[in-house]
Structure 1
Amino acid sequence: MFFELHNEKKIGYKKLSLADLGISSTSHQTHIGLAESVLMFLSDRDTVSEDSIFIYEDKFEYIDAYFDRIQNPDGTFRSPKIRIGERGCISIVSAIRGIAKSFDSSVQWYLLWFGLKNCKIVFFLFNDSSSDYLEFTKLGLKLNVHGTKSIDGNDRIYSALMAYIEEKINSNGIDVLKELEIITQTNNIMPNKKFRAYDIEKANETNKKIGREGEEFVNSYFEKLYKSGQLISYTWYNQERESGFPYDFSIQDNNNNVIYLDVKTTGYDFTQKMIFSSQEIDYIATTRNQYCIYRVYKSNNEKYSIRICDDCKSLSVNINQYTRVYSDELEGLQVGFRGSKLAIDPTIGALNFKNEVLI
């Protein structure tokens, strides 16, 4: 799991009233009240502009929460809530009300909320005709009660409820995770509203882990080829430590050809963009040896698979022409070009990946 519930181990929930939904004829309520004991890790007033994760019908969005609390005369705080926000803005409250107004008023609406380890808030909206409602009811959550409620890590249903919620978040947030994998590999991200330092650190750890797993997977593949007499030899340059070479392996085939190759691994499907350094592109474009890309990816059964591109030179030559012009122009300004990262779609026509290798 990438998105995990906060160590606070508390989940708030409530049946939304007509006033919460903004459809009461007698109320002009501009907020939705939350449980006192949940989200205690948040500051009292400085989270107004922080975006939160909003989940509804398997859709995953980042929306501003406008969270705050009321200050008591003695300096303490009470009544945590999310507000509708400024006129014309999109907030969690306005999103909920916009959805509810498109349904008949007899539909019952429910909201769950909790924190993640990256200190973001998640708001989970569903109604009484949804599969989520049925699942939460089966798990033992008492939804049709008035007022805000909460459960914590000591509750008997907490573990099962947490597992269901975390799976829901991670499956719905797959596009966000794919984006995070790419931008962390390009070193092109700083902590921001969308991605916290925790997310970036965890993504970097995950990238390193799957990169190693991908190379181990290819190493096992070459070991089988070697033992069956289909390779004379092979070398894994990163076996002991990261070599820094613009390739991960070299192989000597039965025709005595020496082929260099790079393993590009993703935790997602084949179409996820591959990240190359400009130094790698320069090496591929200028080397006399054959150079291959071994694309390692997760197939539908969550196991690694390989597809091989054995001709990436023409694309590299074309890219290298642009990076060299850029480098030369910077040199004219007495500025040194020290390399960059490039995200390349493996499905483009210039890369002819063969069918999946059966291992």
Structure 2
Amino acid sequence: MESFFKINRNAKIGYKLLSPADLGTNTTSNQTHIGLFENTLLFIAEAHKRSSSKLIYNNEAKELICLIDYITNSDGTIRSPKIRKGDINELNIDGNEINSVVREIRSIVQNNSINSNWFLLWFGLDSNELVFYLFNEDSEEYRRLSQIIPNISSRGIIDNTATNFNPLVNYIEPLLSNSSISILQDLELIAQTNEVPVNIIKPRYFDIERAKLNFQLTGQKGEELIAEYLGRQKTQGNITNFNWVNQSRESSFPYDFQIINNDGSEIFTDVKTTAFDFNQKMIVSTNEFNFINQNPSNYHIYRVYNLNNNQPSLRICRNINQIGEHIINHTNQLTTNLSSYFTTIQSLKIAIQPQNNILNFDDTIAL
């Protein structure tokens, strides 16, 4: 899949062998920071002093607090930048305690091999978010990166004029997206609901807007695949016809396809597409549930998934009404309760886990 997160091609990539003092394993040192290089952080702004960043380790990316200190020169330039361990009160974000990059790195090392050499590589994304990449000399990443960066056991800077800059970027970008699946899944839900989960620190407008565009393309692709599938069903004589209501433009109807069966009956179908696996939550609005309850026996959910894996699949749910009835009953009761406060609910968006004990999905169909 195309990498969601893009490395800033104008920023520099820094790398270093972490010292025992950096890792907190030196019993004679009280160092509470990891030092970085000035020339790798030219994009750093005041907002970066306490912001979110990503730490990649063992094919998993975590969103953590990055606490940066540096000395500002009289001409506005910076020197001696470092990322700090941070005090407990600095790790609180809206009532949630989030680890700092330095604390997380030290925890990882202490829970693994403290006798190995550990390396840190850092860079900026095109959103200017900082990313840190931790690995040790026993890992496959070290083997691959030492081929791209021959002097990796020292410390250095790689910019876009270096011959190994593009090979390094081409290695890191897919790894970053593949290790950020849980973050990307959250962003796909945010794109549909505008609700931000508490486990995302200060979500970046840039990422959310990109996620909305990606989800729009994901939804379009899902509907195109279903149009092709229904076309095959029509050719094979399994249905009489179908109408793709969003074919020319978004209709805002509570369904995407109207299917005419051979007996003349009709089925309203809503396509719920995700770039991820089947278990990614589906978003259904109360307006859609109202329509479902008006058509309880002829409203189906077509769940399209695995678009990112280039193995798009379909599973059909024919009993979404069994959840719809409960949802509307509860929202109606909530509306009644709120009316005394002169408050009404216009519409809600409900996140539904496809794998539950109420919904029944047909077997998988390859698209």
Please, what TM-score do these two structures have when normalized by structure 2?
Answer: 0.90
Alignment map for 1:69-80 (pairs within 5 Å): 69-73=70-74, 75-80=76-81
Match of 2:249 in 1: 241
Match of 1:38 in 2: 40
Q: CA deviation at 1:131?
A: 0.9
Q: 2:107 aligns with which of 89, 93, 98?
A: 98
Q: Distance in 1 between matches of 2:365 and 2:75?
A: 69
Q: CA deviation at 1:155?
A: 1.4
Match of 1:115 in 2: 124
Tell whether the 8 Å contact from 1:308 to 1:354 is kept in structure 2 after alignment. yes
Match of 2:19 in 1: 17
RMSD: 2.3
Q: CA deviation at 1:165?
A: 1.1
Residue 143 of structure 2 corresponds to residue 134 of structure 1: yes
Q: Distance in 1 between matches of 2:103 and 2:232?
A: 58
Match of 2:331 in 1: 323
Tell whether the 8 Å contact from 1:258 to 1:289 is kept in structure 2 after alignment. no
Alignment map for 1:224-263 (pairs within 5 Å): 224-263=232-271
Match of 2:134 in 1: 125
Match of 1:189 in 2: 196
Change (3 A) 1:189 1:92: closer
Alignment map for 1:126-205 (pairs within 5 Å): 126-145=135-154, 148-189=155-196, 193-205=201-213
Change (3 A) 1:300 1:115: closer
Q: Distance in 1 between matches of 2:201 and 2:322?
A: 40
Tell whether the 8 Å contact from 1:186 to 1:341 is kept in structure 2 after alignment. yes
Q: CA deviation at 1:9?
A: 3.8
Q: Distance in 1 between matches of 2:101 and 2:351?
A: 34
Q: Distance in 2 between matches of 1:205 and 1:104?
A: 42
Match of 1:5 in 2: 7
Look up the equivalent residue of 1:182 and give its one-letter code: L
Q: Distance in 2 between matches of 1:334 and 1:19?
A: 60
Q: 2:219 aligns with which of 196, 208, 211?
A: 211
Q: Match of 1:243, SS?
A: coil
Q: CA deviation at 1:331?
A: 3.0
Q: Distance in 2 between matches of 1:251 and 1:160?
A: 49
Q: CA deviation at 1:76?
A: 3.5
Look up the equivalent residue of 1:317 and give its one-letter code: E
Q: Distance in 1 between matches of 2:330 and 2:366?
A: 37
Please, what TM-score do these two structures have when normalized by structure 1?
Answer: 0.92
Overall identity of the aligned pairs, in % = 38
Q: 2:281 aligns with which of 259, 263, 273?
A: 273
- Between 1:22-31 and 1:249-258, the stretch displaced more is 22-31
Residue 342 of structure 2 corresponds to residue 340 of structure 1: no
Tell whether the 8 Å contact from 1:331 to 1:337 is kept in structure 2 after alignment. no
Give deviations 1:307-326, integer Å, cap 9, x for gaps.
11122222211111111112
Residue 222 of structure 2 corresponds to residue 222 of structure 1: no
Match of 2:53 in 1: 52
Q: CA deviation at 1:67?
A: 1.0
Tell whether the 8 Å contact from 2:146 to 2:152 is kept in structure 1 after alignment. yes
Q: Match of 1:231, SS?
A: coil
Change (3 A) 1:250 1:336: same
- Between 1:179-188 and 1:70-79, the stretch displaced more is 70-79
Give deviations 1:128-164, integer Å, cap 9, x for gaps.
111111010122342122xx41101221111221122
Give deviations 1:274-330, integer Å, cap 9, x for gaps.
100100001101226611110000179522111111222222111111111122333
Look up the equivalent residue of 1:215 and give its one-letter code: E
- Between 1:229-238 and 1:191-200, the stretch displaced more is 191-200
Q: Distance in 2 between matches of 1:105 and 1:330?
A: 57
Q: Distance in 1 between matches of 2:186 and 2:366?
A: 29
Give deviations 1:163-208, integer Å, cap 9, x for gaps.
2211221111101111111132112239973420011001100110
Q: Distance in 2 between matches of 1:101 and 1:232?
A: 65
Q: CA deviation at 1:97?
A: 2.8
Change (3 A) 1:310 1:168: same
- Between 1:341-350 and 1:260-269, the stretch displaced more is 341-350
Tell whether the 8 Å contact from 2:38 to 2:78 is kept in structure 1 after alignment. no
Q: Distance in 2 between matches of 1:282 and 1:352?
A: 20
Look up the equivalent residue of 1:2 and give its one-letter code: F
Look up the equivalent residue of 1:163 and give its one-letter code: N
- Between 1:232-241 and 1:15-24, the stretch displaced more is 15-24
Residue 304 of structure 2 corresponds to residue 296 of structure 1: yes
Give deviations 1:88-138, integer Å, cap 9, x for gaps.
854222332333345666421111001112221111111111111101012
Residue 361 of structure 2 corresponds to residue 353 of structure 1: yes
Change (3 A) 1:320 1:103: closer
Tell whether the 8 Å contact from 1:11 to 1:113 is kept in structure 2 after alignment. yes
Q: CA deviation at 1:73?
A: 4.8
Match of 1:66 in 2: 67
Q: Distance in 1 between matches of 2:113 and 2:235?
A: 68
